[in-house]
Amino acid sequence: MEFEKRVVPELRAGLSILEPFRLPEDLMQIRAIHPQAVQQSKAVEIVDLQIRGVHGNELQVRLYKPRHADIMKRPTLLWIHGGGLILGSPEADDQLCIDFVSAADCIVVSPNYRLAPEFPYPAGLEDCYSTLQWIFASAEVWGMDCHRIAVGGASAGGGLAAALTLLARDRHGPGIMFQMPLYPMLDHRNVTPSSYEITHPSVWNRANNLEAWRMYLGQELTEGVPIYASPGLATDLSDLPAAYMCVGELDLFRDETLDYVTRLARDGVEVEFHLYPGCYHASEHVVPEADISQRIRSEYIQSLVRAYRKTDF
């Protein structure tokens, strides 16, 4: 009850909407729940494509682009869906990706990356890297500006976005000009105060987070975990793209996000950060009509708009 008292009043009803579940026993049941269909937009077209992954695997990507045709090259957002590295699909973020396209006049590409435990690290991250390479290689065909590529994601998608910027930097891969890891899943160690503090059964909590990390890392990575699996381990965050990050005060990932933001700034990376009092994990999607939810969503969408405007020419 103490947790609920700390939640912003307009978000408390969301705690009764969220169905508690336990990993790993409820994994297949949760996966069977399909996201609600989003009404088609007259302004944004959605295209599903098959591309080839780094290791020859087929990978579906979902592309969102303005319907009006012109010759202008548009900035591109590689958006990575959340779901604890074990759940989710691009379709769950259809409305958000449509909103990104509408607000920033950009193209969004979202990979249906492979999930753990069937495909542990590095499968999902390599799929994201394959998508980044595909964007760079296919820019002319789809009207994408390969000099204005941003990456972003929420929760597990935010952790993968952070990992992808590290991987692209160290592999000298395609350039990324902006990163947007929102309340990201960054650190497999689960040693921060907030990782012990947030145990409410209706929100993403310590027990499920521990199990999700175990499934993602698999049997091979009990020690010597690389920074690309768990970006919170990275000690050198220099030469990374400018960042926008946010997290709720009552989010399991609060403290690892705060630590990452601090170290980005310390290593010379331009970073904007927002901490939202009384908000739990992904609360803006649970109670989207709440004033605080609309503000959270607007602020990260506008951060993308501002990032692209900085590079207009």
Q: What are phi and psi of 51, to 5 degrees?
A: -125, 175
Selecting among 155, 194, 195, 230, the annotated active-site residue is: 155
Q: pLDDT tens for residues 296-306?
A: 999 999 999 99
pLDDT of 57 > 90? The answer is no
Full DSSP string of 120-187: -TTHHHHHHHHHHHHHHHTHHHHTEEEEEEEEEEETHHHHHHHHHHHHHHHTT-S---EEEEES----
Selecting among 81, 200, 281, 285, the annotated active-site residue is: 281
Residue 155 designated active-site: yes
Q: Buried b vs exposed e over 302-313: b needs ≥16 C-beta within 10 Å?
A: ebbeebbeeeee
Contact yes or no for 200/3 (Cβ under 8 A) = yes
Q: pLDDT tens for residues 61-106?
A: 999 999 886 778 999 999 999 999 999 999 999 999 999 999 999 9
pLDDT given for residue 69 in this prediction: 67
pLDDT band at 41 (very low <50, low <70, confident <90, very high): confident
- Mean pLDDT over 16-25 rounds to 92
Selecting among 130, 251, 283, 285, the annotated active-site residue is: 251
Highest mean pLDDT among 33-47, 58-72, 246-260: 246-260
pLDDT of 221 > 70? The answer is no
pTM of the model: 0.96
Domains and CATH numbers, the chain: 2-310 (3.40.50.1820)
pLDDT given for residue 312 in this prediction: 63
pLDDT band at 269 (very low <50, low <70, confident <90, very high): very high
pLDDT of 24 > 70? The answer is yes
Contact yes or no for 67/45 (Cβ under 8 A) = yes
- Mean pLDDT over 134-138 rounds to 95
CA angle 196, 199, 200 (to 5 degrees): 155
E runs forming strands in 53-128: 58-66, 74-80, 107-111
